[in-house]
Amino acid sequence: MDLKYLFKPSTMAVVGVSTSQDNHPANVIYNKNHLRYPVKTFPVNPKGGILNRETLYPSVGNIKEDIDMAVIAVRAEYVPKVVEQCIQKGVAGAVIISGGFAEAGNLKLQQRLVDMAKEASFPFVGPNCLGIYAPDHVDTFFLPGERIIRPDRGNVGFVSQSGGVLVDQMVKFAGQGIGVSLAVSIGNKACIKETDMLDWFDQDPETKVIAFYIEGFEKKEGRKFIKRVEHCSKPVVVFKAGKTKKGIEAVSSHTASLAGNYRVFSEIMKQYCVAEADSEYELTSFCEALSCYPKGIKGNVGIISLSGGHGVIAADACELYGISLPEIEKETMNTIKDKLSPEIRNIVSLANPLDLTGSSVDSDIVTSARHLSRDTNIDCILALLIPYSPGVSADIGAKLSQVARNEGKPMIAYVPNEDKYKIIIEGFELNNIPVASSVEGAVMMAKALVRCRPC
């Protein structure tokens, strides 16, 4: 299947546009794309007519131009006829928004769509989905544009069975400054599945990290997914739902998927170095870290803190997540101590975590990061910053980023996510250094790098 016209269409037909309901899903999709996106959009309604001075076409076959993608938002029983019209027209693919298929017990109706698509090599997303969001290009979500929080264009490709989870995750990505290359809600995934998206993102030059929200698989589909992951050249993050008895029951009623044996799937993901996120918060942290450092690390972390308490919290979290805090070489400790400000030289703790105290200044933090990065026992630096400390300047993010670039070792920062510290956060993020809004979040990022190290 050639998916490029689905994800990068030049023309689009929206089928199901209403002449009487402005808030109909098809109308929302049509208006949003017609007014705000570069894709040329055509409205379709069997009655034809005029809508806001634009021609309403009775079917996609009546549109003179070639159509790359159709968005279908009609009642379930009418969908096969619309798909047939799209195939006859030569449309390259479709997003089927409509619900009422396998998730509602209509297995035969969904299978009919699958059979038609296979015979005609006609790819479609859905049914029972929101579809596709490609930043600055196309948006098939039937959500009003003013209500959506959109992340910027970036390098994370995200696939979700749930449209609600996808939109909610986009809010979290935007808040954390994570950009997406493409976000796809696959719903019942009757045609395009996780494996197809994995293949697409693996070849997509704009994507560096591939993330999934997965509820379940059909029989043997999970094995196929893992086999594709094995040959994928990019880090893969999975947030799996349906872990409990009640969760499994909910999965079946939501998208008609089989949740399967979660423990088995989780162990297999570990074997193939998939970063399994245990929560939405971890999913966000994992994507941010791996978008900056896709190669991963062995897991020997050096912590720099301006507060002993923050160092203790980080140390506890590292042990909980199986991350090593190796001893710092004596030569490294001596070098750091010699170069610290005289005022703090005799009050700091140079074990791992390093406690530079709240009396440290920028040069102390930068010196410690530089020489800790050169320690052969360390393969990642966690910089836990307290921006309200009097000796810390607004430039510390940019200064530490320069150290990370020069020394070539991954660095992860913790800075409270507050507007008054935004200049520090931007100093890191503009230099591709991930920033967590909590100490535990910073350790979670390191956990992602450990899970996605080369196997």
**Fold of the domain built from segment(s) 297-441:** Rossmann fold (3.40.50)
CATH for the stretch 149-292: 3.40.50.261
Structural contact between residues 376 and 326, judged by C-beta atoms closer than 8 angstroms: no
**For 70-116, what is each residue's pLDDT tens digit?**
999 999 999 999 999 999 999 999 999 999 999 999 999 999 999 99
What is the rounded CA–CA span in Å between residue 320 and residue 80? 52
Mean pLDDT within 48-72: 95
Residue 264: predicted pLDDT: 82
Tokens of 334: 């001596």
Structural contact between residues 358 and 352, judged by C-beta atoms closer than 8 angstroms: no
Taking alpha carbons only, the member of 360, 339, 362 closest to residue 427 is 362
Residue 255: predicted pLDDT: 52
Residue 146: predicted pLDDT: 84
Q: Is pLDDT of 244 > 90?
A: no
Q: Tell me whether the CATH fold assigned to 149-292 matches the one assigned to 297-441.
A: yes
The residue extents of the domains of the chain are 1-127, 149-292, 297-441
CA neighbours closer than 13 Å in the CB half-sphere of residue 213:
27
Residue 453: predicted pLDDT: 64
Residue 144: predicted pLDDT: 87
Q: Is pLDDT of 245 > 80?
A: no
Classify domain 1-127 by CATH architecture: 3-Layer(aba) Sandwich (3.40)
**For 140-181, what is each residue's pLDDT tens digit?**
999 988 888 999 999 999 999 999 999 999 999 999 999 999
Q: Is pLDDT of 424 > 60?
A: yes
Mean pLDDT within 57-69: 97
Structural contact between residues 43 and 51, judged by C-beta atoms closer than 8 angstroms: yes
